[in-house]
Homo-oligomer: A and B are copies of this chain.
Amino acid sequence: MRLKQLVKFATVVAGGCGTLMYAAKSSKLNATLGSNSNTAYAASKELSNKWDSDWDKRDGENGKASRNIILIRHGQYNLAGNDDHERCLTELGKEQAIRTGMRLKELGLNKKITHFVVSTMTRAQETGDLIYKQLGNDAIPVENTDLIREGAPVEPDPPIDTWNPERKTFFVDGARIETGFRSFIHRANPEQEFDSTEVIVCHGNVIRYFVCRALQLPPEAWLRLSLRHCSITWLSIRPNGRVSVKCLGDSGHLPHDKLTFE
């Protein structure tokens, strides 16, 4: 990837996995919607997880800015490749990336993006390069990182027969991807004066896991979400720690004949 490279994150430090805290206490909703414990609804409420405002351990920092984080899956790539280098973008994948860069520019983000983070895998590097060129703004700093390379974040529930990595793969990848989450998905630093818009170009499993974690949804639900190639997923993180997803897998900028999942 021939982009201005500010930082090269190559060292993966094993971190803890996940921070979702499921509060076991009864919700107020039991009283609201009826406390009949024979209903499935009441049962669900008993074990509901409450929102944790201190999910990123930044409560009390009194930051004032919001972060818009735009997660983009790489374009279609050569599935028959033997190694990462050979698993490069197809011609369609390149076109998907160019159109995605055009969409970001049409949204006026080329002047707003303050940080551009890219996975070091070939298909993400190529996608990031094509998007970056469309933005036409070489002042945007780029960070390449191994932390958000594709992997197996956590055993999905329900599982699928066609994708079944070894347990030790989840063990290693899970800590790395969680480290990526804690590195990139958190509220703004207190010294950040203005709202920021940041792009992260990476992979389907990583983005789906990040969304579940950021929204404090069960992380093992990540495989229930699907993401087309070069789709846009937009997280907003407010100074008070609230997180919302503005869109997930938005691919309306691609014509019908350019849409692919794999």
**A contacts, CB < 8 Å to B:** 16-22, 24, 27-29, 32-34, 39-41, 43-44, 46-51, 53, 103, 106-108, 154-155, 157-158, 167, 170-171, 174, 215-221, 223-226, 228, 231-232, 236, 242-256
Q: Are B225 and A216 in contact (CB under 8 A)?
A: no
Q: Are A247 and B231 in contact (CB under 8 A)?
A: yes
Q: How far is B40's CA from A223's CA once the two chains are assembled, in angstroms? A: 22
- Which B residue's beta carbon lies closest to that of A214? B224
- Which B residue's beta carbon lies closest to that of A223? B244
Contact of A243 among B218, B224, B242, B249 (CB under 8 A): B224
Q: Are B256 and A106 in contact (CB under 8 A)?
A: yes
By DSSP majority rule, is chain A's interface helix, strand, loop, or mixed?
Answer: loop
Given contacts A232-B252, A245-B248, contact A22 B41 (CB under 8 A): no
Q: How far is B155's CA from A154's CA once the two chains are assembled, in angstroms? A: 29
Q: How far is B225's CA from A249's CA once the two chains are assembled, in angstroms? A: 13
Of listed A17, A46, A218, A226, residue having the most chain B CB within 10 A? A218
Contact of A221 among B40, B167, B216 (CB under 8 A): B216
Residues in B neighbouring A167, C-beta threshold 8 A: 32
Residues in B neighbouring A256, C-beta threshold 8 A: 106-108
Residues in B neighbouring A21, C-beta threshold 8 A: 40, 43-44
Q: How far is B89's CA from A229's CA once the two chains are assembled, in angstroms? A: 33
Q: Are B22 and A48 in contact (CB under 8 A)?
A: yes
| A235 vs chain B, min Cβ distance (A) | 10
| A202 vs chain B, min Cβ distance (A) | 18
Q: How far is B16's CA from A226's CA once the two chains are assembled, in angstroms? A: 30
Q: Are B248 and A228 in contact (CB under 8 A)?
A: no
| A32 vs chain B, min Cβ distance (A) | 5
Q: Are B215 and A221 in contact (CB under 8 A)?
A: yes
Q: How far is B55's CA from A10's CA once the two chains are assembled, in angstroms? A: 43
Residues in B neighbouring A226, C-beta threshold 8 A: 236, 244-247
Q: How far is B170's CA from A228's CA once the two chains are assembled, in angstroms? A: 35
Q: Are B254 and A252 in contact (CB under 8 A)?
A: yes
Q: Are A251 and B249 in contact (CB under 8 A)?
A: no
- Which B residue's beta carbon lies closest to that of A28? B155
| A178 vs chain B, min Cβ distance (A) | 8
Closest 4 CB pairs of A and B: A252-B252, A22-B47, A18-B41, A248-B248
Q: How far is B47's CA from A44's CA once the two chains are assembled, in angstroms? A: 11
Q: Are A44 and B19 in contact (CB under 8 A)?
A: yes
Q: How far is B195's CA from A108's CA once the two chains are assembled, in angstroms? A: 39
Q: How far is B223's CA from A171's CA once the two chains are assembled, in angstroms? A: 32
